[in-house]
Amino acid sequence: MKTSSVYDCHVLPLNKIHNPAGNITIIEGVKNIPFNIQRIYYLYDIPSGESRGGHAHKELQQLIVAASGSFEVMLDDGTNKKIVRLNRPNYGLLVVPGIWREIFEFSSGSICMVLASLKYDENDYLREYSEFKNYKYETSVKF
């Protein structure tokens, strides 16, 4: 795995099909996102002031979509940080492996949908920030 940076994470436009009866956005793994989709989950009913995430992944890639409402995603590569606001269901934030993420500032009724490249594996998680920083340092020393 190459050393990842917050600059490797970016917002992808997703195809929006307009229809008078309601719009539709279709996401197909490898076709319009750079990985096969192995798992989909979504966050909802998040109380005001709460945050989610607070971890990184060693191998997993994600596409984070504001299916409804809005929220902010803080990305951290151990050196640089950036915040991305998501508020349109036809855009998704690609998060590459080795990036710490925190999701916060959820609007009322928001839904955060996440498409993941791997099935759940607890061993892929870096749940403590100090563990994440050590992992990033060890990864950068190898290259």
55 among known catalytic residues: yes
The three-class DSSP label of residue 26 is coil
Contacts of 130 (CB under 8 A, 6+ apart): none
Residue with tokens 């809005």, as numbered in its chain: 70
Contacts of 80 (CB under 8 A, 6+ apart): 5, 6, 7
State the Cα–Cα distance between residues 132 and 123, nearest whole angstrom. 13
State the Cα–Cα distance between residues 86 and 58, nearest whole angstrom. 24
Selected catalytic residue, list 10, 18, 55, 57: 55
Q: Which are the catalytic amino acids?
A: 55
